[in-house]
Structure 1
Amino acid sequence: MTTTRPIQSGRRYRRIIYALIGVGIASLLGGMFLDYSLAGLVVYAVTAVGALALTLFLQFGSEIELQDEREREIGRRASDVTFQLFGYLGLVVFVAMFLLEATSQYTMTARAETLLYAYAVICLTWGGIYVVFRYRS
C-alpha cells in the first residue's frame, strides 16, 4: 500500500479547484462572446460553487493540506503588497478627487462615489479583522 503525503494530495486538489475556476471563467467569457450569456453564466455558477464547496470541505472537513508553510508565506506577502499598493494608491487618488471637487475643478460622479464606498468597506473590513487578530493573539 502506497501512502501519499498530505501536501501532494493537496496540490492535486488545488489543481482541480483551479481547473474548475478556469472552466467557469472560460465559459462565462465564451458565452458572452458567442451571445450565449445565460449558458455561460450557468456553467460559471456551477463551477464556482463546486470550487468553493471543494475548498471549504478540504479546509474544514478533511486532513488534506492545500498549501505548505512556504506557499502560505508567499500568499501572505503577495496579499500584503497588493493591499498596500491599492490601498495607498486609492488613498492618494480619492484625496486628489476631493481636493479637485473642493476647488470646483471636478464633480464626483456616481461611479466614483460607488468606488469610494467600496474602497472604504474594504479598508474598514481589513482594519476590523486586523484589530480582532491583534487583540486575540
Structure 2
Amino acid sequence: MLDTLTSGTNEPEQARRVYYRIVYAILGIAIIGLLAGLVTGHELLGTIIYCGGAWIGSGITFLAPKLTDVPLQDERDTELYNRASGLTLGVLFVLGLSVIPAIYVLEAAGRIDPPPEVTGAILLASGLFLLWGVAYGIVKRR
C-alpha cells in the first residue's frame, strides 16, 4: 500500500513519512471531530467521528507494517516511543504522588468532598500503572 505511494531513491524514509502523515491526520481529524461535536452540542456525532477515526488510524497502524515490505519503523522510532512513554508515566507518577495523598488527607479532615470524577481519575491512573507493571513483567520475561 505505502510502497506504491512512494518512488525515488530514499523510498523507506519517504514511505515512513507518508505513513505517519496519514495516521496522524486521521487521528487529528478524529480528535477535532470529537471536540467540535462537544462544542456544538452534537456529542453523539463527535463521538462517532472520533471512534471511526481511532479505529481507522489504529487499523492502519496495525496492518500497514504487515502489508508492505518497506520498513515503517526503525530503532529511532522505538527509542522515541520508549522515552515518551517513560516521560508520560513519570509526570503522572510525580503528579499522583503530589496530589493524591493531599486529596485523601483533606477528605479525611472534612475540608473537601471530592467529586466522583476525582475518584475516577485516581482509579484510572492506578489502573494505568498496574497495567504498565503487568506489561513490563510480561515483556521482561519474554
TM-score by length of 1: 0.80
Aligned match for 2:81, one of 75, 85, 110: 75
- Measured against aligned partners, the alpha-carbon deviations of 1:11-60 in whole angstroms (never above 9, x if no partner) come to 21111111111222223333343444444433333322221111110234
Taking a change above 3 Å as real, the CA distance of residues 16 and 89 of structure 1, as seen in their structure-2 partners, is: same
Quote the Cα distance in structure 2 between the aligned partners of 1:129 and 1:109: 31
The residue number in structure 1 matching 2:111 is 105
Q: Which runs of 5+ in 1 are unaligned?
A: none
Runs of at least 4 residues of structure 1 off by over 4 A? 1-4
1:45 is paired with a residue whose SS is helix
Pair 1:27 & 2:33 matched: yes
Quote the Cα distance in structure 2 between the aligned partners of 1:57 and 1:7: 18
The answer to whether the 8 Å contact 1:58/1:65 transfers is no
- State the identity %: 31
The answer to whether the 8 Å contact 2:92/2:125 transfers is no
Taking a change above 3 Å as real, the CA distance of residues 3 and 79 of structure 1, as seen in their structure-2 partners, is: same
TM-score by length of 2: 0.77
The answer to whether the 8 Å contact 1:28/1:44 transfers is yes
The answer to whether the 8 Å contact 1:31/1:38 transfers is yes
Quote the Cα distance in structure 1 between the aligned partners of 2:91 and 2:46: 33
The answer to whether the 8 Å contact 1:7/1:64 transfers is no
Q: Which moved more, 1:23-32 or 1:123-132?
A: 23-32
- Measured against aligned partners, the alpha-carbon deviations of 1:55-84 in whole angstroms (never above 9, x if no partner) come to 110234443333332232122112211210
Pair 1:47 & 2:47 matched: no
Taking a change above 3 Å as real, the CA distance of residues 99 and 33 of structure 1, as seen in their structure-2 partners, is: closer
Pair 1:130 & 2:97 matched: no
Cα-Cα RMSD: 2.4
Aligned residue-pair number = 136
Letter in 2 for 1:65: P
Quote the Cα distance in structure 2 between the aligned partners of 1:30 and 1:111: 23
The residue number in structure 2 matching 1:96 is 102
